[in-house]
Amino acid sequence: MIESIHQLQQRFDLDFEIYDIIQCISPQKAAARVPPSLAEVVKKLPYLNEVLDAKKLDAEWRQHEFDPNLSPDLEWGKYWSLVKDAKIPSGPAKYPNLTKFVEVLASFPVF
């Protein structure tokens, strides 16, 4: 556990209130697209640029709120499981960058 915290500290600038950032992945905030853009979050967590495409992330963030299967009333795991499992008609994942974003934020030790 200690080693994982050291690794997080090396990869992320944790001089800001992480709890405020992590709240954006609650189903209530995500379904309402709060914040309207994830660009500021990516700026505060520069490591994200290594694991996802920030421009595509923002497009997926805007697009996911219109998914008819998603509701702010869903339990956290169910909401993000639906996002992860969503596919475009040709087969690939519909929200790969958003899924990676959520996986990274959910790995923070505040959960």
- Measured in degrees and rounded to the nearest 5, phi and psi for residue 87 equal -125, 150
60/98 Cα distance (integer angstroms): 6
Chain segment 38-87, per-residue pLDDT in tens: 999 999 888 899 999 999 999 999 999 999 999 999 999 999 999 999 99
Would you kindly state where each structural domain of the chain is located, as residue ranges?
2-106
57/97 Cα distance (integer angstroms): 5
| The pLDDT value given to residue 111 | 45
| The pLDDT value given to residue 4 | 80
75/4 Cα distance (integer angstroms): 27
| The pLDDT value given to residue 108 | 80
21 pLDDT above the threshold of 70:
yes
Radius of gyration of the chain (CA): 14
Q: Which of 26, 33, 41 has the alpha carbon at shortest distance from 80?
A: 26
22 pLDDT above the threshold of 90:
no
Cα 71-73-77 angle, rounded to 5 deg: 85
In terms of pLDDT, which residue wins out, 79 or 18?
79
Q: pTM (2 decimals)?
A: 0.81
Only one residue has tokens 């500021």, namely 40
Average pLDDT over the chain reads 89
Dihedral over alpha carbons 54, 60, 63, 69 (to 10 degrees): -150
Mean pLDDT of 11-21: 68
